[in-house]
Amino acid sequence: MYFIVFAALCSVAVSIWLKHCKHQQVDVLQMLAWNYLLAMLLCYVWFKPDFSHVSVADTPWWVITLLGVALPSIFLMLGGALTRAGVIKTEIAQRLSVVLSLSAAYLFFQEQFTALKGVGIALGLLAMLCILLSRSGEKLAAFRSAKRSQAAMWSLFAVWVGYAVVDILLKYTSGLGLQFALTLNLSFIVAFIFMSAILIFRKTQWSMRALYSGLLLGLLNFSNIALYIKAHQWLKDSPSVVFAGMNILVVLLGVIAGMIIFKERLNKLSSAAIVFAAAAIFVLAKAL
């Protein structure tokens, strides 16, 4: 069970660190490049993917490329949502991306759809609606501007959809027979190349501060993935426990971190979103 706890802690720590670095005006693009450099090295050491299966003709490079571009793009969306909407709502939006993933699994991958999944998805959509319509008490002055309010809403929506897209792409590659570890490692490599190309093109002035910040981000990011997978391996007969435990813990820890560290406040809609999100995750865990 401690794998789940530490995975959840790493997930929330990623958001906290990313928001802190944006406040400190660290170059996020540089951070992301170093993040993926470390992530691809750790992925190779930890999972030991078999690169002998990689070929120019048979490897689905278009999916790998999409993943490699989507991963850093989502981090940028995450950073924007953390700044505009806060840690609490961003973490909930991120976790509720499973609602879209499960819907896509039914529509495109012919997975079985049950009444319990339908209830879970409905609760998740209701939670997401509360998140998008809510206004944080501590952000009231900022949200008096309609443009800022809309920016926060669209940032949360982008995080919600973006994480679902990555999940769907990973599911699609596994359906093509590509190993998860290999897909992940190749995606990290493409993401690093993609971010490096952007930084070189814009003639970046490299910063040691961004390097250290990015390496810590990469360590937290990869630890979250590795510990979550380890939890699934350890509790292979209880995947619903891992799924529910991880997601509910992240939501709860996100609420605690947002309120204590960043002084975010909960209004009625935000509180309702937390309840609906926890209920959705619990019901979906039962349905899996």
**How is 201-243 classified by DSSP, letter by letter?**
HTT----HHHHHHHHHHHHHHHHHHHHHHHHHHHTTT-HHHHH
pLDDT along the chain (288 residues), means of 10: 90 96 94 97 94 84 94 94 92 92 79 85 93 63 58 91 92 82 94 96 92 97 94 82 90 93 89 93 86
CA distances 135 to 12, 119, 267, Å, are 21, 26, 7
Which long-range contacts does 256-265 make (Cβ < 8 Å, 24+ apart)? 257/12, 257/15, 257/16, 257/87, 258/86, 258/87, 258/88, 258/91, 259/88, 261/16, 261/87, 262/19, 262/86, 262/87, 263/138, 264/86, 264/87, 264/88, 264/136, 264/138, 264/139, 265/136, 265/137, 265/138
pLDDT of residue 55: 85
DSSP label at residue 142: G
Contact 198, 191 (CB under 8 A): no
Residue that is written with structure tokens 């120019």 in the block: 56
Q: What tokens appear for 244 in the block?
A: 């529910």
Tell me, yes or no, if the pTM score tops 0.75. Answer: yes
pLDDT of residue 137: 43
CA distances 234 to 3, 64, 75, 206, 237, Å, are 9, 28, 29, 41, 9
